[in-house]
Amino acid sequence: MKKISLKNQNFTYPIYIGKNIFSKFLVFSSIFSIQKNRKIILITEKKIFSKYIKKMILNLKNTKLYIVPGGEKIKSFFYYKKILFFLLKNLIRRNSCIIAIGGGSLIDLVGFASSTYLRGISLFIFPTTLLSQVDSSIGGKNSINFSNKKNIIGTFYQPSLVVIDIIFLSSLKSKELSNGLAEIIKYAISFDKIFFHWLEKNIDSIFSLKEKEIFYCIEKCCKIKCRIVSKDEKEKGIRSLLNLGHTYGHAIESLFKGKWNHGESVSLGIVLASYSSFLLKIFSKKEIQRTKEILEKSNLPINFPHKIKIDKFLKIMKYDKKNLEKKNALILPLKIGKVKKFYGISEDIIISSIESINNKIFY
């Protein structure tokens, strides 16, 4: 087991990475609640409860269980209110604790509820998907969707503890592993060309869940994100660079209304961002090709499934959180291993990037 600390001038908390540490930490949390006379609310997904929690729940003291379905649909006011009613019903106070066990959508939802209920109560996170282990469990961004707009309502609220157990990954389907790989590839393109080269050689090992490679991959991504969040918690500067492919990707998610998952949308978003950078005479054809090849190796899309309506796509992009007034904001690759934020990219560049994929013009 390894420990990484996320330190900022306002907070510090540990991130543990290991194998078969899940049950031990649940017992620890239960003992901690008794010592401090704290109530615990354990919120998890239906499939996680059935596979991992059902047998041990009777041993957890002072713990109330709340189960939600998984998936992007739970990031809504409907499930947010259901959690708040459950917290009220169980007389949860500021000295209580919430444990979130699930994927990125559940962590976003529960983090948002934890940050707003009584203006904030302690949160322990146990991410169960590759995507949540390398990205969404770290850094304290919490959100729900509204009016078919991705992550439009949210908070910055840091957990007290993150525990990453690779044992959860054994129950994931290939598509769910690909979902996480999109974010991992994003880290490599954005910040580390050596890591990108390592991924090109080791994608098959990740799909095979080889322990050494999986452990290295998760640790690498966590360290990159911790380094950035420690400098910029609330995305006023360098943290926005973590959003390569996300401006396009969030628009794709909204446009397809849940038919594509986050990783699939970010994958195509990275391709679109690469095309935009190429059209600005920055990113090279060779780097575009390497980017597309590693995404395809990861079973991720690099094309739209059908032609899309560009005017509708552009309208959705206007709601992106990074935009300033009337200026759009795009994170674009300068080269593999380095990205930059651009404001006011011309609509012609964006349209040409989308048309390139619509009309299957490959660079």
Catalytic residues: 119, 141, 183, 225, 235, 239, 243, 246, 250, 262
The secondary structure of residue 91, as a DSSP letter, is T
In whole angstroms, what is the distance from residue 249 CA to residue 288 CA?
A: 17
Do residues 362 and 354 lie in contact, with contact meaning Cβ atoms separated by under 8 Å? no
Per the listing, tokens 């959705």 go with: 316
CA 299 distance to own-chain centroid: 18
Pairing mode, strands 63-68 and 12-18: unpaired
Q: What letters, b where the CB count within 10 A reaches 16 and e where it falls short, cover 304-316?
A: beeebeeeebeeb
Look up residue 251 and give its two tokens: 């628009």
Q: In whole angstroms, how far apart are CA 82 and each of 45, 220, 237?
A: 14, 36, 35
Give me the torsion for CA of 151, 155, 158, 162, rounded to 10°.
Answer: -20
